[in-house]
Amino acid sequence: EASGLPGFDAHEQVWLGRDSERGLEAIVAVHTTVLGPALGGTRIWPHVSFEAGVTDALRLSRGMSFKSAIAGLALGGGKAVIMADPKTEKTPAMLAAYAEMLNALVGQYITAEDVGMTLADADFLAERTPNVSGTTKGGSGNPSPFTALGTFLGLKAALRHRTGSDNLKGIRVAVQGLGSVGWALCQRLHAEGAMLTVSDLDQARTERAAQELGATVVEGQAIIAADVDIFAPCALGGVLSAVTIPLLRAKIVAGAANNQLATAADGERLRERGILYAPDYVINAGGVINVAAEIGSGRYSVDDVMVRVDRIPLILTRIFERAEDEGRTTDAVAETIAREIIHTARR
């Protein structure tokens, strides 16, 4: 069924787990296992329809394959969606049913946190299945600080590519979403003198940003049209579309959210407008780099993680240069590189 839905890309497996008594409806999409087990978080989110949930899992798992390949990790790409409101419908019974599903997939999919799934949830799952990463007990813990650091370094690489300098003093940055990643990114930007404009659905977060970081707060979609140099999407995906791209005033888009482009055509729309786009799965790889360090034979080492996160700006710069040389979008170039890596490994 999944093969007929948008986002399908010759995925190896798509699994459906349903337990109506315990309130579980979960989709696990395994895009590739060529480089290693398919790693990717579980998103707990009340999608408007089952098809929307499957499409989300398909697109996110494909992004995970490309993300791990480009970051040089021995991991494939997978992602899961549990169709539920994390605030009201996430129960221990539901998570226990999900752990049983993960066990049934015999290690070809390893999960981690994502929107709606917390570190505590990962720990809960880890008591019931080995197929979970990013736990606090013996695991690598919260990936968000590493995602924020990689995004910060990547944003600076984009600025340097665009202007010749990565000095953030006085550079205006709009950050959409002040969650685990967005907040940590804002702190780093503020510390280096950037001027922040922020938005979040949660007013307590925007108020804190105004007080502690001197941020200007805007409501809803106004963040997209903010008069800034850089737009950093750090909320949910699909933010760059035929509707929003014409509104952008930023000359750079560099943020952590997954699936920022609503469609592949939106990469071309950004290019036509002369906006430099840091492909999401390249700039936001810090989290998976951290999680990957606990998987496999090696012992988790934060130094190894930092070496890989420090490479993100270099990888991005090569993508920016190749995109210019070839007259293509940065997104298309990133995908080509990722597919080449997976293809070579498969052969």
CA angle 243, 270, 72 (to 5 degrees): 120
CB of 294 to ligand NAD, least distance (A): 14
Strands (E), the chain: 13-19, 24-32, 38-39, 42-45, 76-83, 109-110, 172-176, 195-199, 216-217, 230-233, 252-253, 276-277
Q: Which residues contact 14 (CB under 8 A, 6 or more apart)?
A: 2, 27, 28, 29, 30, 54, 57, 58
For residues 209 and 49, give the distance between their C-alpha atoms in angstroms, rounded to a whole number.
Answer: 34
The number of residues in the chain equals: 347
Is 79 a catalytic site residue? Answer: yes
CA angle 134, 138, 144 (to 5 degrees): 30
For residues 259 and 284, give the distance between their C-alpha atoms in angstroms, rounded to a whole number.
Answer: 11
CA angle 53, 219, 151 (to 5 degrees): 65
Window 136-175: residues binding ligand NAD (CB under 6 A): 143-144, 147
Per-residue x/- mask for ligand NAD, residues 288 to 327, rule CB under 6 A? Answer: ----------------------------------------
Question: Is 256 a residue that touches ligand NAD (CB under 6 A)?
Answer: yes
Question: Is 235 a residue that touches ligand NAD (CB under 6 A)?
Answer: yes
Window 89-128: residues binding ligand NAD (CB under 6 A): 114-115
Contact pick of 52, 96, 218, 236 for ligand NAD (by CB under 6 A): 236
Q: Is the separation of the CB atoms in 152 and 175 below 8 Å?
A: no
CB of 238 to ligand NAD, least distance (A): 10
Question: Is 200 a residue that touches ligand NAD (CB under 6 A)?
Answer: yes
DSSP reduced 3-state for 19 = strand
Q: Residues 79, 87, 90, 169: which is the catalytic one?
A: 79
Contact pick of 180, 197, 244, 329 for ligand NAD (by CB under 6 A): 180
CB of 174 to ligand NAD, least distance (A): 11
Question: Is 61 a residue that touches ligand NAD (CB under 6 A)?
Answer: no
For residues 153 and 136, give the distance between their C-alpha atoms in angstroms, rounded to a whole number.
Answer: 26
CB of 327 to ligand NAD, least distance (A): 29
Question: Is 33 a residue that touches ligand NAD (CB under 6 A)?
Answer: no
CB of 239 to ligand NAD, least distance (A): 8
| Nearest alpha-carbon partner for 205 in 179, 228, 227 | 179
Which C-beta is closer to ligand NAD: that of 158 or that of 256? 256
Which residues of the chain form contacts with ligand NAD (CB under 6 A)? 114-115, 143-144, 147, 176-182, 199-202, 205, 234-237, 256-258, 284, 287
Catalytic residues: 79
